[in-house]
Structure 1
């Protein structure tokens, strides 16, 4: 173990969260992995600990359960010194709003918004105790425009963007630096891959590996960039879309997303 400080990563069992864990372990950072029960988190933790000689701890619970979240985060803070928070956990999907269950809508809001805010709020007093500490919140390129057939997801990611930048300003002058990351398309699982493929060339534009996204995000956060858009194509796309009228942009993006319903 190289130090007594830890990086806390939510949604750490697979996809981008898993890659964050791998890259932080390579840097010699001890890690706390938060994930749902029943996944591959124990084997990931064992592999990282053995390979990189770091301490890896696992906490498996549902972040949408606010009471359990408060209980587990309190326990974590009593036992570990955390100087890097990565709020990665999130969920999305594509469907007609009339065909989306209330449970699914609530899950998106509880996981993407509520859990991120609650964890961040609970950790800030502890992060402020360090000379330097970091918060990385994962938003999405979807945050830059409303999108039909997704509706709640981009709204939740726009919230994360606004929350992160407001918090960054509020904490300016302290040792806590806040960054927000806007990944483009990521093939994290078979469902996501099918949605991206269904959009053809447009869907694959800006597609990066989880390793590339995680590396860009970590470097950007440590160097205190406020906003991080991984990949040149995604940066270019953001610029081009920012100069289009909202109505035109909304129609263009929604038309492409609608193909995911077929």
Structure 2
């Protein structure tokens, strides 16, 4: 039978977030799923409860709306005991800065940066109540290098990397472990798949399945590893890229990313 502790997962309706929900349920964890309204999370919750005999709670709201976030977190923490936070929600896109709307730029910053930090800040006091608790944060290999035609997205993931690794050090010795995950390309939907395929062999280097990424991320986080780069090719690529001068590294990566533009959603 499940206990009364919960794992909270953001961006849980599809892709990596949904896979985290499945694998956490398989481990016997109760789950709180958060996604945007209209994400049909309830069907996911019912399926997980039926198959794994755990408790699943669903909350649909916009994490980038700070007032709603505070209101919903009060309800969640009043009724549920959270010992694991998975910050998975995030958005990006590929386009030149002159063709990127101000609204899109604001959306990326508000969700990837502001919403993630506010959610974490609100939950830390509750996580610290446990002898052992965890925060997992999904960054990206893009966090390691500034990239043209994405600009805001890798900057937001670099922020996530810096913020949470700093938080890891600040919370050392408290029992609250913080991990940052740096996945490579993920084929989460048809649009991202077309962008990855458009880059040819280089785009597919380091490509792992969503279940594999989730498995590696969960295993590393529960083991207390602060930095987790899923996949051998991604680890090798990271080491090799750090040996290159920054200007050369940016040029190489940006040239490949530019190929994604015809396959990207309007931003």
1:218 is matched with 218
Q: Deviations over 1:1-52 (max 9, x none)?
A: 4210000000000000000000000000000000011123111100000000
The runs of 4+ residues in structure 1 deviating greater than 4 Å are: none
Deviates more, 1:66-75 or 1:15-24: 66-75
1:188 is matched with 188
* Partner SS, residue 184 of structure 1: coil
How far, CA to CA, are the matches of 1:258 and 1:2 in structure 2? 48
Once the two structures are TM-superposed, the CA of residue 64 in structure 1 deviates from its matched residue by 1.2
- State how many pairs are aligned: 262
Aligned pairs for 1:119-138 (under 5 A) are 119-138=119-138
* Partner SS, residue 147 of structure 2: coil
TM-score (norm 1): 0.99
1:100 is matched with 100
* Partner SS, residue 93 of structure 2: coil
1:38 is matched with 38
1:50 is matched with 50
Q: Is the 8 A contact 2:39 2:60 kept in 1?
A: no
How far, CA to CA, are the matches of 1:33 and 1:261 in structure 2? 32
2:12 is matched with 12
Once the two structures are TM-superposed, the CA of residue 149 in structure 1 deviates from its matched residue by 0.2
Deviates more, 1:35-44 or 1:178-187: 35-44
How far, CA to CA, are the matches of 1:234 and 1:192 in structure 2? 18
How far, CA to CA, are the matches of 2:258 and 2:121 in structure 1? 36
2:118 is matched with 118
How far, CA to CA, are the matches of 2:251 and 2:87 in structure 1? 30
How far, CA to CA, are the matches of 1:31 and 1:39 in structure 2? 16
* Partner SS, residue 130 of structure 2: coil
* Partner SS, residue 186 of structure 1: coil
How far, CA to CA, are the matches of 1:134 and 1:261 in structure 2? 37
TM-score (norm 2): 0.97
2:204 is matched with 204
How far, CA to CA, are the matches of 1:261 and 1:50 in structure 2? 42
How far, CA to CA, are the matches of 1:129 and 1:48 in structure 2? 27
How far, CA to CA, are the matches of 2:184 and 2:106 in structure 1? 24
How far, CA to CA, are the matches of 2:261 and 2:138 in structure 1? 25
How far, CA to CA, are the matches of 2:13 and 2:74 in structure 1? 21
Once the two structures are TM-superposed, the CA of residue 85 in structure 1 deviates from its matched residue by 0.2
Aligned pairs for 1:127-166 (under 5 A) are 127-166=127-166
Segments of 5+ residues of structure 2 without an aligned counterpart are: 263-267
